[in-house]
Amino acid sequence: MHERSSVAGLAKSLKAELNRYSPGEKLPSSRALVERYRVSPVTVTRALAQLASEGLVVTRPGAGAYRADTRTAAPAAGDTSWQELALSADTATELVPRSVDASGVLVTLAAPPPGVVEFNGGYLHPVLQPERALAAALARAGRRPGAWGRPPADGLTDLRAWFAREVGGSVTAAEILITAGGQSALTTALRALAPPGTPVLVESPTYPGMLAVARSAGLRPVPVPTDADGIRPDLLEAAFRATGARVVVCQPLFQNPTGAALPVERRAAVVRIARAAGAFVIEDDFARRLVHEDSAPLPPTLAADDPDGVVVHVCSLTKITSASLRVGALAARGPVLERLRAIQVVDSFFVPRPLQEAALELVGSPAWSRHLRAVTQELKNRRDTMTGAVALHLPELALPHIPSGGYHLWLRLPDTLPEAALLPTALRAGVAVAPGRPYFAAEPPAGHIRLSFAGVAGPAEIIEGVRRLRTAIDELTG
């Protein structure tokens, strides 16, 4: 049995037996638990640690584990009503009041109840993650000389050089800043490029986490419509003229949520239009390594073809590895680099060196290329499975674009199917989906849902999840 599932199973069994013991009574010894449940001593230790973290048992070194006394009086409720005034007082003079709405992000971070098919995920399922390679990389990283010392504020030189090669073109290590993942990089870029109260142009629809960052910084997201080929250059140019914005955020490759990829002519047009407006392009290149076909070459990054410093490039290792490998990069050239560096240092000082060293070990190992090939093939298989299942079981849902990269499908709901009612109904049917509303900066043109095929165990679970979604829709429309 997998170690992680063994720990969870033993913890569940021990929790069910706790009522046999009085508060303060000693539990069986670790040796007795090993023999009774036929698990390893490590599993016993971790299961007891889990119960201790939940306040159910107390472990005493050298003495054993004891049932905790949970019969404690509830703390007196305080009066926090004063905070309403304190938190709203600083918005009275703001042109665009700052708001922190993480609901669109939490949908993809929250784990659904056990037994629910997770179509709302934003990361690779553990079966797709390079867990052994990550563990080996972390172990090697911890033994590197100076691995626990303070890293350079900009990041390890070798890691910056690797990211520079990934960005391509004439980008150098000196133009790279290592960040704590892509979300942190987006936050730094938006804070650096747009002062509070100003507009920022965004694709419509777009990534909810970026909209949340913009609004929390007091920015005003202005939507620019997209089509099957991504953001429309004619409307982008009109939006710059109408708003005077100095920033546009764009995902040129496998856009979230539509999956669109900008063709060559549009890629050049986006940079040219921004340059003419005296504006920056924040290129969120989050999905480059989530390609579904490894035969056709990918287009270069916008930053690779930008000698004038129009593009501020954002990328990370998180999506292709694990949600916990929060290592990313910002690439920029010109005076803006110093501003990005200053904000990065003030916000976080630096990314922990052991994590940077582990990232270096991973991308420099033979396991890295094997992992990329395996994920490419598996994502293609899952995309095809989900596409076929949707066509068979959910023909009334429109799929305007089948992506060639990324980890999800973007489906338009018929006008007769309310998005707000579908989500809880689907959850009762045993499938969690991501709502479309958080992906729009303004009123959406129709109801949508996003279905992830990367956060589930495999094709069989995809087919079952689509069947459950069929049940939910029948309940609403039958």
Read off the pLDDT band of 348 (50, 70, 90).
confident
Q: What's the confidence (pLDDT) of residue 47? A: 87
Q: What's the confidence (pLDDT) of residue 111? A: 74
Asked whether the CA dihedral 168, 172, 173, 175 is positive or negative, the reply is: negative
Rounded to 10 deg, the angle between the 41-53 and 3-17 helix axes is 60
Going by C-beta distance under 8 Å and a sequence separation of 6 or more, which residues neighbour residue 112? 118, 120, 427, 432
Sequence length of the chain is 478
- What 3-state DSSP class applies to 114? coil
Read off the pLDDT band of 2 (50, 70, 90).
very low
**Is the Cβ–Cβ distance between 261 and 285 less than 8 Å?**
no
**Is the Cβ–Cβ distance between 164 and 209 less than 8 Å?**
no
Q: Mean pLDDT for the chain?
A: 89
Phi/psi at 314 (5° precision): -125, 130
Q: Which domains does the chain have, with CATH numbers?
A: 3-67 (1.10.10.10), 103-128+368-477 (3.90.1150.10), 146-364 (3.40.640.10)
Tokens at residue 475, please?
């309940």
Measured CA to CA, the distance from residue 213 to residue 314 in angstroms comes to: 14
Measured CA to CA, the distance from residue 119 to residue 405 in angstroms comes to: 17
- pLDDT, one tens digit per residue, over 318-327 is 999 999 999 9
- pLDDT, one tens digit per residue, over 27-78 is 888 888 888 888 888 888 888 888 888 888 888 877 788 888 766 555 666 7
- pLDDT, one tens digit per residue, over 70-83 is 665 556 667 766 66
- pLDDT, one tens digit per residue, over 383-433 is 999 999 999 999 999 999 999 999 999 999 999 999 999 999 999 999 999
108, pLDDT greater than 80: no
Percent of residues, the chain, with pLDDT higher than 90? 67
Average pLDDT (159-171) is 95
Q: Are strands 328-331 and 176-179 parallel, antiparallel or unpaired?
A: antiparallel
Residue with tokens 């140019």: 237
- pLDDT, one tens digit per residue, over 205-223 is 999 999 999 998 889 999 9
- pLDDT, one tens digit per residue, over 263-285 is 999 999 999 999 999 999 999 99
3, pLDDT greater than 60: no
In the chain, the amino acid numbered 9 is G
Phi/psi at 218 (5° precision): 80, 20
Percent of residues, the chain, with pLDDT higher than 70? 91
92, pLDDT greater than 80: no
Note if the pTM is more than 0.75. yes
